[in-house]
Amino acid sequence: MDMKTIIIIFVCATFSLIKPSLAYNDNSTFKNVEQKNTKSINVHSAWSRALPPITPNGAVYLTIDNNSNINDRILAAHSPVAKQVTLHKSIHHGDHLMMEQQHFIDVKANQSFYFEPGGYHLMLISLQSQLKAGQQFPLHLTFAKKGNIEVIVTVRNSHDKNNTNATAEHHH
């Protein structure tokens, strides 16, 4: 493992040290992003697992269909339920399941990209309140070309049958 890899790998438990009282980022980064090709990318099937009280972090899973002929890239994500939302990939390092932060994620032309348990996910850092089953909240994705897309995330219990992609549990 080279030095660069060591630097970008971290465990999300680190974030439990961040006080939730810190103000979360405002949406000022959205203002410079133009809205283009509004029908070319479809974000759907967004869900998050219901969590016990005082759980510091959560994760969002969703599907992105890039129906255009243009490669695009996710640069950032935001949600009012968390202080910060980061792009993560779960990786196996020996016996350990770790999470590697991604600075961006490519969503190639005419392809779908899946955020799902055990793989890529959107990490909700420092939740502002408990995520309860049945609740819904907005999440904004910032794409390099498409601009901002808002998706509504539904909170589900982990035993719900709809969580069919839950092949690997992943602790935060």
| Cross-strand pairs, 101 | 88
Task: Kindly state the smallest distance separating residue 117's Cβ from Cu ion, in Å.
Answer: 11
Closest of 97, 108, 125, 116 to residue 65, by C-alpha: 108
Task: Kindly state the smallest distance separating residue 54's Cβ from Cu ion, in Å.
Answer: 18
- CB-facing half-sphere around the CA of 86: CA atoms within 13 A: 20
Rank residues 41 and 139 by Cβ distance to Cu ion and give the closer one.
Answer: 139
Q: Is 140:149 a contact under the CB 8 Å cutoff?
A: yes
Task: Kindly state the smallest distance separating residue 68's Cβ from Cu ion, in Å.
Answer: 28
Rank residues 56 and 147 by Cβ distance to Cu ion and give the closer one.
Answer: 56
Task: Kindly state the smallest distance separating residue 88's Cβ from Cu ion, in Å.
Answer: 4
Return residues touching Cu ion (CB under 5 A): 12, 88, 99, 123
User: What three-state secondary structure class fits 28?
Assistant: helix
Q: For tokens 């630097």, name the residue.
A: 7
Rank residues 12 and 43 by Cβ distance to Cu ion and give the closer one.
Answer: 12
Write the DSSP symbol of residue 30. Answer: G
Q: Which residue is nearest to Cu ion (CB)?
A: 88
Residues present in the chain in total: 172
Rank residues 146 and 172 by Cβ distance to Cu ion and give the closer one.
Answer: 172
